[in-house]
Amino acid sequence: MANTIQKPAPIFPPRAAPLASLTVTMAVMCYLASLAIGALILINHAVDNWTHGLSREVTVQLRHISDVDPAVQLQQSMQVLSSTAGILKAEPLDRKASLSLLEPWLGKITGEDLPIPQLIRVTLDEAAPPDFVALEKALNTAAKGVSLDTHQRWETELTRAASLLSNLGCGVLALIILASVMLVIFAARAVLEANRQVVGVLELIGAKNSFIARLNDWQFLKTGILAGCVGAVVALLTFYALSATGDSFSQVGQALVFAPQGIQFINLAAFVAVPVVATLLAVVTSRLTLSHMLGQSR
């Protein structure tokens, strides 16, 4: 019977309980980090769409004044808008459309007793927009009770809210990274303490601290890769599931990965970075922790 050559077992057991627990907890951390990254991408995508829509349109409001005929007021305003360079289209909204804009705040109303202003939706030429100061002055000269809303205030509020949410998302990512580092330190200490006898034998035969610490690199490398890949993939599946649940999330997957011009490789790279960063955290933190502990024990 031929002799079989057995592969020597690793000095530190690869299925140690601390490493198994670390893999599961780091996978959860990577999942949360991927969710935070996806949320940041969605926020930036939504803000870009909203601000782009606000920047290409303005609204003209015609308030009701007792001594002014609304029809004449509308006609004079339309004449100014049609003769102004940089305006592509001016479209008056009927009363029903104006009431629909108030439904999120007032609910279903008839509006018979409400002095709802007449609204004109103005589409701008983004390449050469008009002078808003001159346009508002011309509207006020042509008719009484006319005001121009450039949506600047809404755009500023949206930008401020997006900045706040982005900073919050970055803070969450920083906390997740900090928690992951602490988990790796705890696991590395637990592995070293569980194999203290093996470490003692290695020290007696003259093994250097760097050599002993390097014996764990491959195990923590596998832990980081597995946890990062699982967390990122599950997060992508989560966003994909959300995109199929209804109208509220119908464009989640497209916003994360796809766009009219094609695949968004930057967004994909953000998710690919999760397992890379998780692996680096696991390997570097474990090496530093073990080297420090071994240096203290001598």
Instruction: Categorize the per-residue pLDDT at 4 as very low, low, confident or very high, splitting at 50, 70 and 90.
Output: low
Residue 171 has pLDDT above 70, yes or no: yes
Instruction: Categorize the per-residue pLDDT at 271 as very low, low, confident or very high, splitting at 50, 70 and 90.
Output: confident
Q: In Å, how far are 137, 142, 196, 200, 268 from 147, measured between CA atoms?
A: 9, 11, 79, 83, 45
Q: What is d(CA 33, CA 170) in angstroms, rounded to the nearest whole number?
A: 10
What does the pLDDT average to over 175-190? 87
What does the pLDDT average to over 43-54? 74
* CB neighbourhood size of 54 (10 A): 16
What does the pLDDT average to over 46-75? 80
| 166, 43 contact by CB (below 8 A) | yes
What does the pLDDT average to over 61-90? 85
Mean pLDDT of the chain: 78
Among 39-43, 63-67, 101-105, 291-295, the least confident range = 101-105
Residue 46 has pLDDT above 70, yes or no: yes
Q: What is the pLDDT of residue 95?
A: 74
Higher pLDDT, 276 or 195: 276
Q: What is the pLDDT of residue 115?
A: 72
Q: What is the pLDDT of residue 261?
A: 47
Q: Which of 14-18, 43-47, 113-117 has the highest mean pLDDT?
A: 43-47
Q: What is the pLDDT of residue 14?
A: 59
Q: What is the pLDDT of residue 175?
A: 92
228-239 b/e with 16+ CB inside 10 Å = b? bbbbbbebbeeb
Residue 251 has pLDDT above 60, yes or no: no
Percent of the chain having pLDDT more than 90? 5
Q: What is the pLDDT of residue 32?
A: 92
Q: What is d(CA 55, CA 7) in angstroms, rounded to the nearest whole number?
A: 68
Instruction: Categorize the per-residue pLDDT at 262 as very low, low, confident or very high, splitting at 50, 70 and 90.
Output: very low
Residue 260 has pLDDT above 50, yes or no: no
Instruction: Categorize the per-residue pLDDT at 282 as very low, low, confident or very high, splitting at 50, 70 and 90.
Output: confident
Residue 135 has pLDDT above 50, yes or no: yes
Tell me: the pLDDT tens digits for 84-130?
888 888 888 877 777 777 676 666 766 566 677 888 888 888 788 88
Residue 141 has pLDDT above 70, yes or no: yes
The residue to which tokens 């949410």 are assigned: 165
HSE value, Cβ hemisphere, 13 Å, CA-based, for 34: 29
Instruction: Categorize the per-residue pLDDT at 28 as very low, low, confident or very high, splitting at 50, 70 and 90.
Output: very high
Instruction: Categorize the per-residue pLDDT at 230 as very low, low, confident or very high, splitting at 50, 70 and 90.
Output: very high
The residue to which tokens 């804009």 are assigned: 101
Percent of the chain having pLDDT more than 70? 77
Residue 1 has pLDDT above 50, yes or no: no
